[in-house]
Amino acid sequence: MTITLASGMFSPALGNADAGLRPGYARWNRCHREVRAVSILFCCVGTCVFLRSGPEGYKEQQALSSVQDEDREYTDRRVLVADDDAAVLEMIQEVIRRSLKCATDSARDGEETLRCLSDRAYDILLMDMMMPGPHGLEHVKRVRTGWPEVDIVIMTSYVDDFPYVLAIEAGASDIISKPHAPSELVAKLMRVLRERDLRAAREVAERKYRGLFQLSMIGMVLVEPESSHIIEANRMFCEMIGRPEDTLVGCSLLDLVNERERARLEMGLTAFSVSGKGVLGDLVLTRPDGVELSLDVSVSFVALADGAVVLLAFQDFTGRREIEQQLALVAQTDQLTGLANKYTFHTRLEGAIARAASEKTPLTLLALDLDNFKRCNDIYGHAKGDEVLVMTGDIIRKNTRAGADEGFRCGGDEFMVLLPGSPASVGERIAERMREDFEKADNYGVSLSVGIAEYVSGMRAHELAQTADEALYRAKAAGKNGIQVAL
């Protein structure tokens, strides 16, 4: 003999409650009245259990006991149980409270279910499919639309009327048939609660990632590895590049760089896809306003469940590069005249000779010296002497080709001028124009002497400089304020 006690298996007589309900519900009510007439309902320690003769009953009690012994207690969770049978409601709530330690509330019909959902937040709605008022799959859809955060587990004695697939499509998380063992109910609810825990943990992780990604002081973008299209860009990158995120998402990262950098970036991404990570230094990105940024880029290929993405972290070193360039310029430049200094002269002279030798083009060097400069300092003071030096720099720049020729202050009142591609005859004309400009200027009694030397094949840098100096000495020895060309 079997004595059965099952949550949701029986329903008390509803009297006229059958009126107005669909035939299936009336059929369900009559069926349960008949079953109730031949069944005995037991409540054991306030818990709904199956009591069967023989080993089957023992196995069911052991199954429920094993579920209850789980370490996780869901005291922070709340379940709404909706069923029009008060006895069933009480028994199901008792099972949930004892086995899962969840808080529970109850509703007796569809309208009360909706009111409860409106008044309080729930994790799970355990709902009978045949109740007065709103019920069935349309009710499931309504709940899913209004409270998408709630997991819906439906109970029904008519599985054929509510197929599993249709229930899931309507928005249910699971379905349980009546009658059912308490252990089955608890297991299904436990699975849903575990899934909620996983979703909550994922949401926390995503919020942390979102915060780290968006609030990072390093510019970051996520890129699709095949097309290099930008999936997402953080605030710092948008500020760095001078564009809002909605104009970046969907466009190719490669479109933000020039052609030379595009090829370099493509090669870098291809190479890093093998190792999974890498760094590109001094990548130049161009802002919409034309400003070029010098960036160091860290590249990481991140494997995800549905594919892979590329995370690029950009650090803007434009300011630092500019400072470095300025420091380098200071190290190479005479601060008074703005011409390159003596140390730079030797480097540039070596390079100019190497090019002239390989290209077989002329190269001329002018050595300039200010006559009577010491006397100017003694009579007029060093401030006037500095004015004369600045004027000399201006005259050199005025009479040479920007980007081709170059002037140098090599110390005191000594200057050098490199004329790549020009023979000595051109150098002589340039020197004469400089001398004439100097005479016309407010020179405080200072004049200009110039020595000219043209590069000869096989000549070394120091030999060319010495040759120009020797020509300069002859110009000064000849009475100053003159020009001499090396023989």
Which residues participate in catalysis according to the annotation? 413
Rg of the chain on CA atoms, in Å: 45
421 burial level (CB within 10 Å; 0-12, 13-18, 19+): middle
Q: Are 461 and 347 in contact (CB under 8 A)?
A: no
What DSSP string runs through 235-283?
HHHHHHHT--HHHHTTSBGGGGB-HHHHHHHHHHHHHHHHHSEEEEEEE
Distance CA 463, CA 167 (A): 96
Q: How many CB atoms lie within 10 A of CB 461?
A: 19
Could you tell me which of 334, 356, 357, 359 has the C-alpha nearest to residue 345?
A: 334
Distance CA 177, CA 180 (A): 6
203 burial level (CB within 10 Å; 0-12, 13-18, 19+): exposed
Listed in sequence order, the DSSP H helices in 120-181 are 136-146, 164-170
Angle at 384 between CA 381 and CA 387, to 5 degrees: 150
What backbone phi and psi angles, to 5 degrees, belong to 183? -60, -35
Tokens of 72: 């996780």
Could you tell me which of 158, 164, 102 has the C-alpha nearest to residue 128?
A: 158
CB neighbours of 284 closer than 8 A, spacing ≥ 6? Answer: 257, 258, 261, 292, 293, 294, 295
How many Cα atoms are found within 13 Å in the side-chain-facing hemisphere of 392?
34
Could you tell me which of 179, 180, 176, 183 has the C-alpha nearest to residue 63?
A: 183
Is the bond leading into 182 cis (omega within 30 degrees of zero)?
no
The structure tokens 């569809």 sit at: 110
Instruction: Write out the E strands in 291-344.
Output: 292-304, 307-316, 340-341
